[in-house]
Amino acid sequence: MKLNDIAPAKGSTSRRRRVGRGLGSGRGKTAGRGQKGQKSRSGFSQGAGWEGGRSRLVMRLPKRGFNKAKEPVQIVNVRDLDRFDDGATVDVDALVAAGLVKHADRPVKLLGDGELTTKLTIDLDAVSRGAAAAVTAAGGSVKGAAAEESA
C-alpha cells in the first residue's frame, strides 16, 4: 500500500455544494438566498440575540446578583508542604520551584487540608484559619499579610 493509494471509505465524504454557478446547477442566480432583503446581501452578519432592530431580550431583562470578577487564586494545601525542609521559608517562589503552583505573579492561598509535620515559616498572600493553626501546631509561623488575615 502506498500513500497515493489511500482513499476515504465509499460514501463517507461528499463534494462541496457550489452555489451561484449558473441556472443549470439548480442553485444559480440567487444561490439559495431567496429574493431581496438583508439576508440576501453579501457581507450580511446577524449578531447573536439580534431581534430585527428591537432591543434584545438580554438587554431588556433586569440585572440581578453579584458579578464582580475575582482575581484567580492558586490553592495549596498544608499536606503539600511536607516536601520542604525544617525551618524553610515557604513563599510563592519556593512553591513555583517545587511545582506546587504555576504562576509566580498570581496570589496563593494556603488551605488547611491534611497534616503538617515540618516546622515552616509561611509567607503567602492568604492563609485560612485552619492552615494557620496547623502551621503553628507543627511549630512553624505565619507572617506577612496572611498572618493578619488568619488572626
| Higher pLDDT pick, 140 / 70 | 140
| 141 domain-assigned | yes
| Farthest-apart Cα atoms in the chain, separation | 87
For the residues 22-38, what does the mean pLDDT come to?
Answer: 92
| 78 domain-assigned | yes
Query: Exposed/middle/buried for 118, CB within 10 Å: 0-12, 13-18, 19+?
Result: middle
| CA R_g for the chain | 31
Find the domain containing 107 and state its range: 74-150
Q: 57, 51 in Cβ contact below 8 A?
A: yes
| 29 domain-assigned | no
Report how many domains make up the chain.
Answer: 1
Q: 133, 115 in Cβ contact below 8 A?
A: no
Question: Which helix (H) or strand (E) segment is 133 a member of?
Answer: helix 129-137
Q: Which pLDDT value is given to residue 73?
A: 93
Show the cell assigned to 41.
446581501
| 94 domain-assigned | yes
| 40 domain-assigned | no
Q: Which pLDDT value is given to residue 68?
A: 80
| 143 domain-assigned | yes
| 127 domain-assigned | yes
Whole-model pTM?
A: 0.55
Q: List the CATH number of the domain containing 81.
A: 3.100.10.10
DSSP alpha helices (H): ranges in the chain?
Answer: 57-60, 92-98, 129-137, 145-150
